[in-house]
Chains A and B, each alone.
Chain A
Amino acid sequence: MEAAAKYNGKIGLDALKEDRVLDKMNLLEAQPGETYTIKELDTEDEDMNAFLFRLGCYTGEQITLISKKKKSCIVVIKDGRYTLDNLLAEAIIV
């Protein structure tokens, strides 16, 4: 009985995780402390996209959200820490 509950719980959790993978969200909705893979990135500004690329921020790369504030957040891209405003965070889909 107990084992079954655990099993069920695990399934539930996995399902949730899968959900999150399928569901796209922007960085603002992400959890601090978690590492994500960038799925989409479009700032509607080609130069800005290219700039982010050169920092190592592009689709398929990892991004870690360190902390979130009301209007900004701190992330780790490659081995550097950056502060982003919400406008930019919204454009990063993980």
Chain B
Amino acid sequence: MRIAFAGNPNSGKTTMYNALTGRSEKVGNWAGVTIGKNDAPLKSEFSGGKDVIAVDLPGAYSMSPFTPEEGITSEYVREENPDAIVNIVDATNLSRSLFFTTQLLELGVPVVVALNKSDINEKEGTTIDIAKLEEKLGCPVIKTVSTEKSNNGLSEVIEKAISLAGTEQKAPYLQADIDLHDKAQVDAEDRKRFSFVNGIVGEVETRKQLSTEETTSDKVDKVLTNPVAGIIIFAGVMWCVFAISQTYLGTWIADWLVGWIEMFQEWVAGKLESAPPVLQTILADGVVGGVGAVVGFLPLVMVMYFLIALLEDCGYMARVSAVMDPIFKRVGLSGKSVIPIIIGTGCGIPAIMGSRTIRDERERRATAMLTTFIPCGAKIPVIALFAGAFFAGAGWVTFVSYFTGILLIFLGALLVKAVTGYKYRKSFFIMELPKYKAPSLVRAFWSMMERAKAYIIKAATIILVCNLVVQLMQTYNWSFEVVPEGAEDTSILATIASPFAVLLVPLGFGVWQLAAAAITGFIAKENVVGTLAVVYGLTRFIDVEELEMTGGANTVAAAMGLTTVTALAYLFFNLFTPPCFAAIGAMNSEMQSKGWLWSAIGLQLATGYTVAFLVNQIGTLVVEGHLAAGFLPGLIAIAIMVVVIVLISRKIRAGFDEKYELHRKAGQAA
């Protein structure tokens, strides 16, 4: 048996679905969090031992889709014949929600209305006459509070839905037989439907506080969406998130954790003293060291996930969208691009998929293309490693990394705008401002734990295997003999990575070890840290004390042989080159255009290269008074990239001019 969950955006479908199935799909307090269909069996306490699958659908305002994710919902309820529909209705906005309800009631599938967010109504003194609403709609209506742990009405909803499954639903309002292609008829029909809904709402709802009155939340909104104050506040909030997770709290916990990991590594090495050295290095350095280096940064990532979850839960995201819209519009994106970017601080894949809610195709693709410039959770270990090893754990490295990411998004967007040329369609911005709510610490905690678990699994599988492969490739040469000491350059890894290292000379880090680490980073960005740990035999990356003792040149910095300038260049190279393969896959499926995909990869490669080149050359010029090695070849490489971009732009614009001309002529003729 399948029960579909449908309703307006941000009415709490996924929260209810998670409570009923025990899953942990992404939730957030803004419209359009869920962008695809999710399904899972109900927990047995709800299903009563029956085989019931709950299907969570993206929010929709009606059966006729406006955005792609709305289409998923209407298609599912229409084509897939669920056995029952639970229509989640935002009780605080009955007059809008019931429009979709009446459409669902027409399908013939039994509907149970879950009047969600009933707790807010109680607070605001709004009462809804349930019995009357049931009678008017001809279906059961049950008050729910899906954020509540108990006494939330969920089991009643499910019980009703299961008992009604298979019966025939009668519609209180049937659409007249009209020609659906005739706009005027459809319009008139929809008006009739709305007035039917208005009639019901007028009879069942009594409000103490009119929704048009100015509330405290409106006063808060005035500040948060103020073009000046709002942006300053947003910058401050994000700075706090990064500082707490990556400079203060997160680093303290990490420091402690790394000590334990190092002790464990020494213990393993000690136990293996009598074993062959190859086995010893593989286990102690490759497995424990490499994975440990990545896991050591887990606290930073966890603290950040926790804070981001709080932000997503309180309703602030929609305000950020609103305040950033004018700025983003100027560079050819939309305010809706902000949400993917913030999600992108956690992981690039949901960020890329989140761009789906952007209606304009060019804006959507540009967002998917550029959102990964913001460093994701997997890049945090890389940032923290370099901040710790070369900049004494300075917080400004983190800040500069994120700031450069945002800057690159703006510049990239301008470039995309310049390359793709004119815009025909006006780009409107409308976003619902959800009610503020105190973020749930418990939910944020579990969201953090869920992602921490995923992080550990990733470290223990992909990253472990990668480290092992790197270790083996470094230990053996092409005739599968152990590489003798002093001849490290003959190892398999060195010979494969060396040609790439040559390309990186103008960037200041043309050694095969660093090239190898950057390459493994495409599998997963944490691999950069893992591989560096393996090739240089290091683990203790977060180590401020040691740095103080050795006066600036700690073991990590010394082993890598990078100056502060080249270290920054290498960090930026890893941050702003294409993301991991998984994220590239996500880009592919979101963009649905090979041309855009390859342009995105090309742009990201070019950006990473150019940024690292500029940092290295300018930095060296400032610090040492001369340009760094390989200035000319690097400049030539960048010149070639520029020429390619100009050529692509020409080609696109030539096509555009023709089309534009046709457009204009057609307009004149008519």
A interface, CB within 8 angstroms of B: 33, 35, 43-48, 50-56, 58, 60-61, 64, 66-67, 69-72, 74, 76-85, 87-88
Q: In the complex the two chains form, is B426's CB within 8 Å of A87's CB?
A: yes
Question: Is there a chain A Cβ closer than 8 Å to B329's Cβ?
Answer: yes
Minimum Cβ distance to chain B for residue A67 (Å): 6
A83's closest neighbor in chain B, by CB?
B322
> Are A80 and B432 closer than 8 Å at their CB atoms?
yes
* CB proximity of B322 to chain A, nearest CB, Å: 4
Query: Roughly how many angstroms separate A83 CA and B653 CA in the complex, as a whole number?
Result: 34
Residue among B96, B183, B321, B429 making CB contact with A56, cutoff 8 Å: B96
Q: Which residues of A contact B329 (CB under 8 A)?
A: 85
Considering the complex, which residues of chain B in the window 159-192 have a beta carbon less than 8 Å from any beta carbon of chain A?
A: 183, 187, 190-191
The contact string, 1 if C-beta is below 8 Å from chain A, for chain B 311-338, is 0000000100110011001000001000
A88 close to B428 (CB less than 8 A): yes
Shortest Cβ distance from B186 into A: residue: A50
**How far apart are the CA atoms of A77 and B99 in the complex, in Å?**
14
- Least distance between A74 CB and chain B CB atoms (Å): 6
B430 is contacted by which of A60, A67, A83 (Cβ under 8 Å)?
A: A83
Which residues in B have their C-beta under 8 angstroms from that of A83? Answer: 225, 318, 321-322, 325, 429-431, 433
B152, chain A: closest CB distance, angstroms: 22
Give the distance in Å from the alpha carbon of A80 to the alpha carbon of B59 in the complex: 15
Say which residue of A61, A81, A85, A87 sits within 8 Å of B433 (CB atoms).
Answer: A81
Considering the complex, which residues of chain B in the window 189-214 have a beta carbon less than 8 Å from any beta carbon of chain A? 190-191, 194, 211-212, 214
Check if A80 sits within 8 Å of B227, measured CB to CB: no
Besides A56-B194, A79-B94, 11 other CB < 8 A contacts? Answer: A33-B214, A43-B428, A46-B183, A51-B61, A54-B66, A54-B99, A55-B96, A69-B226, A74-B433, A79-B96, A83-B430
Interface residue? B62 (CB, 8 A): yes
A-B CB proximity, top 3 nearest:
A83-B322, A85-B429, A79-B211
Alpha-carbon gap, A60 to B190, bound state (A)? 13
- Complex Cα distance A66/B217, Å? 11
Complex Cα–Cα for A55 and B94 (A): 12
B95 within 8 A of A: yes
Q: Are A87 and B61 in contact (CB under 8 A)?
A: no
> Is there a chain A Cβ closer than 8 Å to B64's Cβ?
yes
Q: Which residues of B lie under 8 Å from residue A74 when comparing CB positions?
A: 218, 221, 225, 322, 433
Give the residues in chain B near A54, CB-CB below 8 Å: 61-62, 64, 66, 99, 190
Chain B contacts of A51 at CB under 8 A? 61, 66, 430
Whether, in the assembled complex, B425 has its beta carbon less than 8 Å from a beta carbon of chain A, the answer is yes
Q: Are B428 and A79 in contact (CB under 8 A)?
A: no
* A81 → B minimal CB distance (Å): 4
**Residues of A contacting B211 in the complex (Cβ-Cβ under 8 angstroms):** 76, 78-81
Is there a chain A Cβ closer than 8 Å to B93's Cβ?
Answer: yes
A50 touches B227 (CB 8 A): no
How many A-B contacts if CB must be within 8 Å? 115
CB-nearest residue of chain B to A77: B96
Complex Cα–Cα for A78 and B426 (A)? 25
A91's nearest neighbour on chain B, judged by CB, is B428
Interfacial chain A residues near B554, Cβ < 8 Å = none
Tell whether A67 pairs with B222 under 8 Å between CB atoms, given A54-B62, A54-B99: yes
Set of chain A residues within 8 Å of B246, measured between Cβ atoms: none
What are 15 A-B pairs at a CB distance below 8 A? Answer: A51-B430, A55-B61, A56-B96, A56-B194, A61-B194, A69-B225, A72-B429, A74-B433, A76-B211, A80-B93, A80-B96, A84-B429, A85-B329, A87-B427, A88-B428
User: Which B residues are CB-close (under 8 A) to A55?
Assistant: 61, 96, 430
Give the CA-CA distance A84 to B183 in the complex, in Å.
Answer: 25
Are A67 and B218 touching (Cβ within 8 A)? Answer: yes
CB atoms of A88 and B66 under 8 A apart: no
Q: Is B474 an interface residue (CB 8 A)?
A: no
**Counting chain A CB atoms within 10 Å of each CB, which of B318, B427, B430 scores highest?**
B430
Give B10's nearest chain A residue, CB to CB: A80
A69 CA / B174 CA spacing, docked (Å): 42
Rounded to whole angstroms, the CA-CA distance of A33 and B210 in the bound complex is 13
Query: Which residue in chain B gives the minimum CB-CB distance to A62?
Result: B212
* Given A66-B218, A74-B225, A79-B92: A50 in contact with B430 (beta carbons within 8 A): no
Interface residues of B in 86-128 (CB under 8 A from A): 92-96, 99
Say whether B95 contacts A78, CB under 8 Å. yes
Within 8 Å CB of B194, what residues of A? 56, 58, 61
- Separation of A58 and B190 alpha carbons in the complex (Å): 11
Cross-chain contact A45 with B428 (CB below 8 angstroms): yes
| A79 shortest CB reach to chain B, Å | 4
Residues of A within 8 A of B214 (CB): 33, 66
Question: What are the residues of chain B within 8 A of A79 when measuring CB–CB?
Answer: 92-96, 211
* Complex-state Cα separation, A79 to B198, whole angstroms: 12
- Once the chains bind, are B190 and A47 in contact (CB under 8 Å)? no
- Do B212 and A72 have beta carbons less than 8 Å apart? no
> In the bound complex, what is the Cα–Cα distance between A44 and B427 (angstroms)?
11
Whether the pair A71, B433 counts as a contact (CB closer than 8 A) is no
A76 touches B326 (CB 8 A): no
* Contact between chains at B429 and A88 (CB < 8 Å): yes
Cα-based distance from A84 to B357 in the complex (angstroms): 16
**Which of A46, A64, A78 is B93 in contact with, Cβ under 8 Å?**
A78
- Assess whether A48 is in contact with B95, with CB atoms less than 8 Å apart: no
Contacts of A78 in B (CB 8 A): 93, 95-96, 211
A66, closest chain B residue (CB): B218
CA distance A44 to B425 in the complex (A): 9
* Cross-interface CB contact of A67 among B95, B221, B427, cutoff 8 Å: B221
* Residue numbers in A under 8 Å from B93 (CB-CB): 78-80
Which B405-454 residues sit within 8 Å CB-CB of chain A?
425-433
Which residues of B have CB within 8 Å of A81?
211, 218, 221, 432-433
Neighbouring B residues of A76 by C-beta, 8 Å:
211-212
Residues of chain B within 8 A (CB-CB) of A44 are 426
Name which residue of chain B comes closest to A47, CB basis.
B66
Contacts of B94 in A (CB 8 A): 79
Report the bound CA distance from A89 to B257 in whole Å.
54
Measured between beta carbons, the chain B residues less than 8 angstroms from A67 are 218, 221-222, 225
* Alpha-carbon distance A87/B335, docked complex (angstroms): 14
Verify A56–B66 contact, CB threshold 8 A. Answer: no
In the docked arrangement, what's the CA distance between A26 and B316, Å? Answer: 29
Closest Cβ–Cβ distance, residue A37 to chain B (whole Å): 13
**Chain A nearest CB, measured from B110 CB (Å):** 24
Residues in chain A near residue B62, CB distance under 8 A: 54
Question: B390 → chain A, closest Cβ, in Å?
Answer: 42
Give complex CA distance A70, B323 in Å.
Answer: 11
